[in-house]
Amino acid sequence: AQSVTQLGSHVSVSEGALVLLRCNYSSSVPPYLFWYVQYPNQGLQLLLKYTSAATLVKGINGFEAEFKKSETSFHLTKPSAHMSDAAEYFCAVNSYGGATNKLIFGTGTLLAVQP
């Protein structure tokens, strides 16, 4: 079975500081991993995805994530936080097996950016 664990349900950073949101996965097959962002009162928007090509994946709004198989991690980073980055972030793995395209989500990390 596949699963995703996000460490830290709430993360607070200062504007201009590094953003690091942690995600660890469990999968018996090579995983396809995603980061989604949810702004207040909106749906989920894809930030970036890992699909077994480059291990360092660049996404929108200056975010990137690195796939580390040895650590079973897919942490999300951004060098300099902006106020507009305040949102909830979800890591997800696409399920394997069966006729479904189900995403298995982590519990989410709420990012606050302080001025």
Partner 1 sequence: EAQVTQNPRYLITVTGKKLTVTCSQNMNHEYMSWYRQDPGLGLRQIYYSMNVEVTDKGDVPEGYKVSRKEKRNFPLILESPSPNQTSLYFCASSSDLYRDNEQFFGPGTRLTVL
Nearest to 115 by CA among 85, 83, 84: 83
Q: Is 28 a residue that touches partner 1 (CB under 8 A)? A: no
Q: How many residues bind partner 1 (CB under 8 A)?
A: 25
Which C-beta is closer to partner 1: that of 5 or that of 17? 5
Q: Is 45 a residue that touches partner 1 (CB under 8 A)? A: yes
CA distances from 108 to 36, 49, 69, 91, 92 (A): 9, 16, 21, 7, 10
Residues that bind partner 1 (CB under 8 A): 9, 32, 34, 36, 41-46, 49, 51, 90, 94-96, 99-103, 105-108
